[in-house]
Structure 1
């Protein structure tokens, strides 16, 4: 292989994980003029980003001229060919990966066999990621940690491609959603995740940049509940989950876990919501079991 390159270097993941996204190897090379790979197939995903020079990439019967800033994508079991230019052969970096998340993730970023090229106007961030990725695979004293870092770096790299493709991605259509609707969805997520904290409507309004009265009105129109009633609902549902599944937790523990500093007040709220105290609810569950 190296006879066909002016230089060629590769870092291999010696302990790739079997998770949803896993880096296999990464490297960089400068092929000689007119060097061709394929027609062939691979059983993994392979990204090549052109740093300089030119070449062509062919997939599904279509040929693409590639130059600096272009990344071309090889998909598993899809026939491809790529060839360096006869006059100004390309120099590129690459990363190979696999895993069940790979295709859905690439699809969401607009990277498909029908659209196999992404052009980056600024390569600096991607070059830094490629360099660190290859160095990690080559030099880490802890292969397990190298795998963890490599997979994180791959995600950062794919994010850069997503940013470049943002104008034609599905999530870009969210810009057509009215601002208040997006903010209400954000408020719902915020309350659903921050329920264990001491939260006030003032905190929520300040975070989202709305007056509390306006936010409360719009939130209730969208959800049927005021923000604080929605928060109480989230807390009570989570408390019931803990009472059902975490038998070792005391009532004080459960109260603290769902954002109440006073276990007695928590018990009163739980009784109002479910018709029995947390202790009675847990006892009833044990009896029914």
Structure 2
């Protein structure tokens, strides 16, 4: 069974182009040929051979193989034990990055994942998604992300360390947490707990990498956001203060002046004056 899908106009980051499940006959083959999108096959039972760039890979149950766009590939089911597999075709601006996080590239196109029932279940849900026509595209995209999450969780833990140090990863996690939660009453302890590191160790690592403490980074992020809101909106100082995590507008104004060199009101007036000068 195979189903082809139209190109998504709302999920451009990652979208399905096709999916299916098939019990292949002996010697069933495809190629040599190229595809215009990514295609990931996952073998439930049986075995076969996958060939790319002149290299042959023997593929069995619990393994998958990746076909990249515009690359010549060939695959064939075993004569004695032909494979039964499922597949997803996909593309999007995030596709390559997500594949790398899952441990799959053109150079390393084979994936190992032992929980066959989970992959099979998600493919079955994709097939059943036609029962929800109004939200089918979003449902299918969500299931595609779920399959990626399984493969990413199963990827070798050393994979990301090949391109980034642990320090860089933790610093990025701190920044991401602050960006998503700066409007809340968060503490450094909250951030350390979320990341799963000792507070003192995380603080030391962050300061060494960025030359700022986590608390200073949080304050500066809040003040930079407030600066933008002062220029781009007509919200009151009190509303802006609460929007960046300060219940007390006076405390917010005090910290803002310390960081920016002038009060929020003065900053707004100066920005408006500068804008008028440019217009004139």
Q: TM-score range by the shorter chain?
A: 0.7 to 0.9
Q: Counterparts of 1:1-289 in structure 2 under 5 Å?
A: 9-14=1-6, 16-17=8-9, 19-136=12-129, 138-142=130-134, 145-171=135-161, 177=166, 186-200=173-187, 203=190, 210=198, 223-246=210-233, 248-289=234-275
Task: Give per-residue Cα distances to partners, 1:186-206, cap 9 Å, x unaligned.
Answer: 555444443222234565566
Q: Summarize the Cα distance change of 1:189–1:121 in structure 2 as closer, same or farther, 3 Å threshold.
A: same
Whole-Å separation in 2 of the counterparts to 1:105 and 1:121: 20
Q: How many residues align?
A: 273
Q: For residues 192-244 of structure 1, give each alpha carbon's deviation from its aligned partner in whole angstroms, at most 9, with x where no partner exists.
A: 443222234565566656467x7767765655555444432222121111112
The offset of 1:40, in angstroms, is 1.4
- d(CA) in 2 for partners of 1:168, 1:211: 24
2-structure distance, mates of 1:203, 1:83: 52
Name the SS for the 2:32 alignment partner.
Answer: strand
**8 Å Cα contact 2:192-2:199 kept in structure 1:** yes
Q: What is the deviation of 1:12?
A: 3.3
**RMSD across aligned positions (CA):** 2.9
Give the secondary structure class of the aligned counterpart of 2:65.
strand
- The verdict on how the C-alpha distance between 1:172 and 1:153 changes in structure 2, with shifts beyond 3 A counting, is farther
Name the TM-score, length of structure 2 as normaliser: 0.83
Shift of 1:282: 0.7
In the alignment, the residues of structure 1 paired with residue 203 and residue 157 of structure 2 have an alpha-carbon distance, to the nearest angstrom, of: 33
Query: Normalization by structure 1: what TM-score?
Result: 0.81
